[in-house]
Amino acid sequence: MQLMARGYLAYELTGLASRVGYVAASGAITALLFSMLGGVLADKMDKKFLIQIGQAIAFLLAIIVGMLISFEVITWTHLVIASFVQGVVMPLVMPARQALIPQLVGRERVMNAIALNSVGMSISTVVFPALAGNLIHLIGMAFTYYFLAAMYLISIVFTGFLPSFFPITNGKNFISEFTAGINYVRNSSVLRTIIIFSLSSMIFAMPIRLLIPIVAKDIFSLGSEGNGFLLSAIGVGSLGGAMLVAFFGKRGKRGFILAIAGVVSGLVLMIFSFIGYIYPFVWFGIVGMTVIGLIQAARMTLTNSLMIESTDDAFRGRVMSINGIGMALMPGAVLPITLISQYYSIEIAIFCMGIALSTISLLVLLFNRSLKSIA
């Protein structure tokens, strides 16, 4: 809901695609700086407490933005600041969320647990972007942000029911822990390959979710409700992708499947941009976003499960934080894409994303043995 509301509001306030990119990219630098810190904290602190701190900050942020809108003093620079703060919080929280999974279910159930987690996230992306679009239309942007704040408050309460886990690491300082995490990944060819592939996917595939306000308005001439429906279509596809991975489990060469999914994902983006240019029909956009969401969710579920399974408990937070650098880079990748969109077209921008993703994935598929050998 927050991604949809913030992007839509930035575009409504300015009418410039590049401003959507600036808002999205403003959190990228801080996210890069704090990613490894989040991993070290996840390995040294109670993960539940760390998650709740992030939820509390997000709650306050939603309240503040809602009040700025209510008093009619909101500008796109306020959204940049909000994104900046979010860029600090998310990398501190996400490694803890992901590293907590195997401690809750055990290593043997990691694959299905991550798939189940993806299903839950996918269901929320099906329901709530469309809800956000309708709330903006019915009650206005300010009360939509107040609704967001209420959801964050509920999440703090529910997270409180999780068990606490004492950290595994000893009392070394941050620099030592940071260096140990880097060396751990550097010495594992499997982890290096998965992380490199994950970074390329985050940079060239995931930004499509932040480009939805531009896609909706420039290709399909849709307002806030249509914007929400396109995001929900990605959620429907994501739900299908996560369930597909859960169904197949550990059958087959999962590393090979991951590389193939990257190639196909890039091709789908290119086809979407081409057909959207010559035949901008709304139902095509919904179907296209559904397919994109399906492939993205399947790829992310496979990536996270392979990474967690290949990592020792003591280093899991730091490894997930290194992988989280890709999530930090993703908003930054939106900026050049939105600049291409503003000076050329959104269709050309998406086509460039597809070419880059397919090329990198194909190179990994052809020349990297580590990923293809993972069962």
Residue 171 pLDDT more than 70? no
Residue 183 pLDDT more than 80? yes
Q: In the structure, what pLDDT confidence band is assigned to residue 155 with cuts at 50, 70 and 90?
A: very high
Looking at residue 170, what is its pLDDT? 56
For 322, how many CA atoms within 13 A lie in the half-sphere containing its CB?
24
Q: Which residue has the higher pLDDT, 140 or 43?
A: 140
Out of 224-238, 260-274, 288-302, least confident range: 224-238
Looking at residue 370, what is its pLDDT? 66
Determine the average pLDDT of the residues in 209-232. Answer: 79
Looking at residue 101, what is its pLDDT? 84
Q: In the structure, what pLDDT confidence band is assigned to residue 71 with cuts at 50, 70 and 90?
A: very high
Q: In the structure, what pLDDT confidence band is assigned to residue 41 with cuts at 50, 70 and 90?
A: confident
Residue 54 pLDDT more than 80? yes
**Is CATH 3.20.20.70 correct for 2-163+170-372?**
no
Looking at residue 276, what is its pLDDT? 81
Q: What is the four-CA torsion angle of 238, 243, 248, 252, rounded to 10 degrees? A: 20
DSSP 166-216: ---S-S--HHHHHHHHHHHHHT-HHHHHHHHHHHHHHHHTGGGGTTHHHII
Residue 368 pLDDT more than 80? no
| Mean pLDDT, rounded, of the chain | 82
Residue 61 pLDDT more than 90? yes
Residue 332 pLDDT more than 60? yes
Determine the average pLDDT of the residues in 163-177. Answer: 68
Determine the average pLDDT of the residues in 89-96. Answer: 81
Looking at residue 95, what is its pLDDT? 82
Residue 338 pLDDT more than 90? no
Q: What is the four-CA torsion angle of 308, 309, 314, 320, rounded to 10 degrees? A: -20
Domain spans of the chain? Answer: 2-163+170-372
CB 342 within 8 A of CB 336: no
Taking Cα atoms as reference points, which of 345, 293, 305 lies closest to residue 124? 293
Q: In the structure, what pLDDT confidence band is assigned to residue 166 with cuts at 50, 70 and 90?
A: low
Looking at residue 56, what is its pLDDT? 94
Contacts of 348 (CB under 8 A, 6+ apart): 273, 340, 341
Q: In the structure, what pLDDT confidence band is assigned to residue 87 with cuts at 50, 70 and 90?
A: confident
CB 3 within 8 A of CB 145: no
* Percent of the residues in the chain that have a pLDDT greater than 90, as a whole number: 14
CB 308 within 8 A of CB 101: yes
pLDDT in tens, 278-315: 887 888 888 888 898 888 888 888 888 888 888 887 78
* Percent of the residues in the chain that have a pLDDT greater than 70, as a whole number: 89
